[in-house]
Amino acid sequence: MRVDVHAHYFAPEYVDCLRRLGDPRAESPDAVPGGAPTLARQIEVLDTVGIDLQVLSVSLLQPYLPRAADAVEAARLSNDIYADATRGHGGRFAAFGCVPLPHVDAALAEAERCLDMLGMRGITIGCSVAGRPLDDAAFAPFFAELDRRAAVLFLHPVGQGLVPERDPHGLAWMVGAPFEDTVAALQLVMSGLTTRYPNIKVIVPHLGGTLPFLLGRIDGTVGRRRARGGPPLPFEGDASPLLRRLWYDTVNAHHAALRCACESFGADRLLLGTDFPYMQGAQLQYLLDVPHEIGLTAAETAALLGGTAQALLDIAPR
Amino acid sequence: MRIDVHAHYFPQEYVDCIARLVDPTVAPTTARAPGAAIDIEERLALMDSAGIDLQVLSTSLLHPNAPDEGDAKAAARLGNDLYADVCKRYPDRFAAFAAVPLPHVDAAIAEVGRCLDTLGFLGVATGCSVAGRPLDDPAFEPFWAELDRRGAILFLHPLFIGFGNELKDYGMQVMMGALFEDSVAAVRLVVSGLTTRYPRMRVIVPHLGGTLPFMMARVANNIEGARRRGAVPTSDVPPRDAFRRLWYDTCNHEPAALRCACDVFGTDRLLLGTDFPYAVGDRFRHCVEYIQEAGLSPAETEAILGGTAQALLGLEAPRA
Nearest Cα to Cα of residue B183 among B213, B154, B218: B213
Which of A35-44, A174-183, B36-45, B89-98 has the lowest average pLDDT? A35-44
Q: How far, in Å, CA of B215 to CA of B204, rounded?
A: 18
**pLDDT tens for each residue of B59-76:** 999 999 999 999 999 999
Chain centroid to CA A107: 17
Q: What is the pLDDT of residues B236-272, one digit of tens each?
A: 999 999 999 999 999 998 999 999 999 999 999 999 9
Which of the residue ranges A80-84, B22-26, B114-118, B183-187 would you say has the lowest mean pLDDT?
B22-26
To the nearest whole angstrom, how far is the Cα of A119 from the nearest Cα of chain B?
A: 33
CATH code (residue B307): 3.20.20.140
Rounded to an integer, what distance in angstroms lies between the CA atom of residue B154 and that of residue B313? 11
Per-residue pLDDT, B174: 82
Q: A69-86: per-residue pLDDT in tens?
A: 999 999 999 999 999 999
Touching check for B180 and chain A: CB below 8 Å?
A: yes
Whether the complex's predicted ipTM is more than 0.85 is answered with yes
- Predicted TM-score (pTM) of this structure: 0.95
Q: Does some domain include residue B120?
A: yes
pLDDT, mean over chain B = 95
Partner-chain residue, chosen from A210, A217, A255, that has the shortest CB–CB distance to B263 = A255
Residue B27 has pLDDT above 90, yes or no: no
Residue A132 to residue B113: CA distance in whole angstroms: 48
Sign of the Cα torsion B10, B13, B14, B20 reads positive
Rounded to 5 degrees, what are φ and ψ at B37?
Answer: -95, 0
Containing structural domain, residue B26: 3-312
d(CA A302, CA A297): 9
Ranges assigned E (strand) in B69-170: 94-99, 123-127, 129-130, 133-134, 153-157
Q: Strand pairing partners for B218?
A: none
pLDDT for res B239? 98
Confirm if A203 and A5 have CB atoms less than 8 A apart.
yes
Query: Using CA atoms, how far apart are residues B194 and A137, in angstroms rounded to an integer?
Result: 44
B180–A213 C-beta distance less than 8 A: no
Q: CA torsion A232→A236→A238→A243, rounded to 10°? A: -100
User: Are B131 and B108 in contact, with CB atoms under 8 Å apart?
Assistant: no
Number of domains within chain B: 1
pLDDT band at B320 (very low <50, low <70, confident <90, very high): very low
Residue length of chain A: 318
Question: Does residue B120 carry a pLDDT above 60?
Answer: yes
State the nearest Cα–Cα gap between B244 and chain A, in angstroms: 15
For residue B194, tell me if it sits in a domain.
Answer: yes
Q: Are B20 and B64 in contact (CB under 8 A)?
A: no
Better pLDDT: A141 or B32: A141
Averaged pLDDT, B188-215 = 97
pLDDT in tens, chain A (318 residues): 999 999 999 999 999 999 999 998 888 766 677 667 899 999 999 999 999 999 999 999 999 999 999 999 999 999 999 999 999 999 999 999 999 999 999 999 999 999 999 999 999 999 999 999 999 999 999 999 999 999 999 999 999 867 766 788 889 899 999 999 999 999 999 999 999 999 999 999 999 999 999 999 999 889 988 988 888 999 999 999 999 999 999 999 999 999 999 999 999 999 999 999 998 899 999 999 999 999 999 999 999 999 999 999 999 887
Q: In b/e form, how buried is each residue of B302-311, taking b as 16+ CB within 10 angstroms?
A: bbbbbbbbbe
B263 touches chain A (CB under 8 A): yes
| Calpha distance A71→A278 (Å, rounded) | 25
Q: Which residue of B has its CA nearest to A163?
A: B163
Residue that wins the pLDDT comparison between A317 and B115: B115
Structure letter (DSSP) for residue A42: H
Pick A169's closest partner by Cβ from B166, B171, B192: B192
Quickly name the fold that domain A3-312 has: TIM Barrel (3.20.20)
Nearest-by-Cβ selection for B260 from A128, A164, A213: A213
Mean pLDDT of B140-163: 95
Q: Which DSSP string corresponds to A47-101?
A: HHHT-SEEEEE-TT-----SSHHHHHHHHHHHHHHHHHHHHSGGG-EEEEEE--T
CA distance A260 to chain B (A): 6
